[in-house]
Amino acid sequence: MFEYLCFSAATMLLVTLGGILVSLLIGGWPAFAKFGFSFFVTSTWDPVQDIYGLSALIVDTVVVAMLALLLAVPVAFGVAFFLVELCPSFLRRPIGTAVELLAGIPSIVYGMWGLFVFGPIFAHTVEMPLMNAAASSPGSLLDQLTQGVPNGTGILAASIIVAIMVLPFIAATMRELLLTVPAQVRESAYGLGATTGEVVMKVTLPYVRRGVIGAVMLGLGRALGETMAVTFIIGNSHNFPKGLFDAGATIASTIANEFAEADPGMHTAALLASGLVLFVITFIVLAMARMMLGRQGNA
Amino acid sequence: MAISTARIAGRRIANGAFIAFCYFVTAIALFFLAAILWTLAQKGLAGISVQTFTMDTPAAGSPGGLRNAIAGSIIMCLLGMAIALAIGILAGTWLAEYSRDGRYGSAVRFINDILLSAPSILVGLFIWYLLVKPLHHFSALAGSVALALVAVPVIARTTEDVLRLQPTSLRESGVALGTPFWTVIRTILWRSAGSGILTGVLLAFARVSGETAPLLFTALNNQFFTWNVSKEMASLPAVMFNDALSAYDDLQRLAWAAALIVSVSVLGVTIIARLLSREQKST
């Protein structure tokens, strides 16, 4: 009887995942049926005329997540190595806890901080100078990348905030992985005269390579689905962004912004369908992460 | 054979650069934490007064507080946690004690790990489809269920991990006394794993109390104080979302006050959970 109860509770987990999938599929079906393949390759998002296309949203979602990882991964590696190899032991716990607290701050607080504090500083110290520099060479790569309005919101600003948010998750998983490396392996490398940097780059890191890829994928899964922080700072424009400073919108931010007020017809269906697309993308990424990580990684 | 001093110097410099990099990025991470906490303290404290706790959320321009949102957050979090507690602990127990390495168990474990990091806004959509759309109105109950679904994977995962750490001899000695296995689980295993499970519950609580996305279209928001869980209900995150983006200074101040209250409670609970798990490791 008790076993049966426990079994049902465990099955609830499967039901939840299945329920998410089925409800998004049924709810989003009208959009898939009406727009067909063009739903994925066009970028018009027009609730007034009831025409919806996802391509700009998908591109923004992927670009923001990738840029965020590009920024967060080296930092997370550095933090994890610092905590495992370099940190004096009396500081290890406080700094470890501090990095974990970074993960505890609610997503929406990052959004407010990003919009009101980080954004203005970012606009003045990074966006403006870069755009001025680019102005002297129209058509160059820098010029193309810096298209947009330098107001501290947009693709790049959102990526930076998401990077800060996924950083602690990747760092914590990395740290866990590094601690699984047997002491003998590291010590024998030191015994051969390797420097700390060499031990980390040539011995420790290759030893946990598979797990590291998993940790990064886990971070990617988080970054793809990040909602509230992105909603605040990406600028919410459904056009294809012209550059990194331009406003955009991710799938999650669009749902957060529009769903509560969407009219019950095609708009709702299109949002549910975009939710399904997000679900499929994150599911694939997270499933790959789990296969690489095994049981490591609590994030 | 002479040792090339240039090569040694090169390695030393590379090593120095590596170490400097590690120090530098850790400093950056800590700097961001400090900057965010500083902003919260500065802007949040400026918005908090007695009124914050005694008055309901205002329309722009009139005085008000966060009473309904604080109550709403507490009600929905507690209700959600009550649901999640039962399901999460039972599911974790099944994974650790009954399924062990069975095929179905591995599948459930895999799914649970995915749910752990799945975007919470999708949970919101699911619950909207399940509880809001058929009933034609938003409700605090739907919000609580959405929060519960966010918390369940965290609790299930920690429960399983902690139960697996309990020595087999503990189970055997219980069973050897003729105790039914389910009584062994309840009276011996759960008890000895208690503080570990509590850590998981607290971490889940911390996560849930800052969640915004699943509430946006389940519980929505409410200008007024209510106990009625079948109606829309305000919550601190929802108030933050609405007020921070408004054009009015006083509403923005309120949003920062809400942000401070939420963050302090979340970080407080996280720290308590950490202390608990440390105690458990040292014994």
Task: Give the tens place of pLDDT for each residue, A245-278.
Answer: 888 899 999 999 888 888 888 899 999 999 999 9
Phi, psi of B28 (to 5 degrees): -60, -45
For the stretch B8-46, pLDDT in tens is: 888 889 889 999 999 999 999 999 999 999 999 999 998
Task: Give the A:B interface size as CB pairs under 8 Å.
Answer: 259
What SS3 state is found at A263?
coil
- Amino acid code (one letter) for B283: T
d(CA A298, CA A282): 17
The half-sphere exposure of B173 on its side-chain side, counting CA atoms within 13 A, is 8
Percent of chain B predicted with pLDDT > 70: 97
Contact across the interface for A112 and B255, Cβ inside 8 Å: yes
- pLDDT tens profile A37-72: 888 888 888 888 888 988 999 999 999 999 999 999
pLDDT at residue A296 in the model: 60
Is the pLDDT reported for residue A283 higher than 50? yes
Q: Give residue-wise pLDDT tens across range A121-137.
A: 998 888 888 888 887 77
Residue that is written with structure tokens 């004690």 in the block: B97
Task: Count other Cβ atoms within 10 Å, centred on residue A33.
Answer: 11
Q: Which residues of B touch A3 (CB under 8 A)?
A: 94, 98, 182
Cβ distance B213 to A107 less than 8 Å, yes or no, reads yes
Of B160, B244, B21, B54, the closest CA to residue A232 belongs to B244
Identify whether the C-beta of residue B202 lies closer than 8 Å to the C-beta of residue B123: no
What average pLDDT score do residues B198-215 get? Answer: 89
A126 near A92, Cβ under 8 Å? no
Q: Closest CB to B15: pick one of A195, A221, A252.
A: A195
Alpha helices in chain B (DSSP H): 5-47, 50-54, 67-93, 103-117, 120-127, 140-165, 168-176, 181-184, 190-192, 194-209, 236-244, 249-282
pLDDT at A165: 92
Is B40 close to A255, i.e. CB distance below 8 A? no
Which tokens is A4 given?
A: 């049966």
In 3-state terms, what secondary structure has residue A59? helix
Residues of B in contact with A272 (CB under 8 A): 125, 129
In sequence order, the 6+-apart residues with CB closer than 8 A to the CB of A51 are: A35, A44, A45
Helices and strands: H and E segment counts in chain A: 16, 2
Query: Which is higher by pLDDT, A71 or B226?
Result: A71
Confidence bin at B61 (pLDDT 50/70/90): confident
pLDDT at site A140: 75
φ, ψ for residue A148 (rounded to 5)?
A: 135, -170
Q: CA of A236: how far to CAs of A198, A241, B48, in Å?
A: 45, 11, 30
B48 has pLDDT over 90? no
Inter-chain CB proximity B121 and A275 less than 8 Å: yes
Higher pLDDT, B80 or A260: B80
Q: Are B154 and B117 in contact (CB under 8 A)?
A: no
Q: What are the tokens at B193?
A: 């794993």
pLDDT tens-digit map of B115-144: 988 899 999 999 999 988 888 888 899 999
How far is it, in rounded angstroms, from Cα B87 to Cα B81? Answer: 10
Integer Cα distance of A54 and A59 in angstroms: 9
| pLDDT of residue A280 exceeding 80 | yes
Do residues A279 and B120 touch, judged by C-beta distance below 8 A? Answer: no
Terminal-to-terminal C-alpha distance of chain A: 33
- At residue B88, φ and ψ (nearest 5 deg) are -65, -45
Q: pLDDT of B156-190, one tens digit each?
A: 999 998 998 888 898 889 889 988 888 888 888 89
Question: What is the model's pTM?
Answer: 0.91
Whole-number CA gyration radius for chain A: 22
Model confidence band, residue B83 (pLDDT cutoffs 50, 70, 90): very high
**Beta-carbon count within 10 A of B70 CB:** 21
Task: Give the per-residue pLDDT at A297.
Answer: 55
Between these two residues, B283 and B103, which has the higher pLDDT value? B103
Please, what is the average pLDDT of chain A? 88
pLDDT at residue number B186 = 87
**B281 pLDDT above the threshold of 80:** no
Q: How many CB atoms lie within 10 A of CB A195?
A: 19
How many CB atoms are located within 10 Å of the residue A95 CB? Answer: 17
Task: Say if the Cβ atoms of B256 and A195 lie within 8 Å.
Answer: no
- Chain B residues with beta carbon closer than 8 angstroms to that of A198: 11, 14-15
Average pLDDT rounded to a whole number, residues A234-249: 84
A115 pLDDT higher than 80: yes
d(Cα B82, Cα B129) in Å, to the nearest integer? 22
Please check whether residue A13 is in contact with residue B94, taking contact to mean a CB–CB distance below 8 angstroms. no
- ipTM of this predicted structure: 0.89
Closest CA to B64 of B219, B234, B188, B205: B234
Q: Residue B140, Cα to own-chain centre: how many angstroms?
A: 18
Share of chain A above pLDDT 70, in %: 98
Query: Is the pLDDT assigned to residue B283 strictly greater than 50?
Result: no
Nearest to B240 among A5, A104, A108 (CB): A108
What is residue B2's predicted lDDT score, i.e. its pLDDT?
Answer: 58
* Mean pLDDT confidence for A227-255: 88
In the structure encoding, which two tokens stand for residue A97, read together? 């806890």
| A194-216 residue pLDDT tens | 888 888 888 888 888 888 888 89
Residue A36 is predicted with a pLDDT of 86
Provide the shortest C-alpha distance from residue A102 to chain B (in Å): 6
Q: Is the pLDDT of residue B228 over 60?
A: yes
How many Å lie between the alpha carbon of B141 and the closest alpha carbon of chain A? Answer: 17
A184: closest CA of chain B, how far (Å): 21
Please give the pLDDT value at position A20: 94
Q: Given pLDDT bands bounded at 50, 70 and 90, which one contains residue A295?
A: low
Find tokens 């101040």 and name the residue: B253
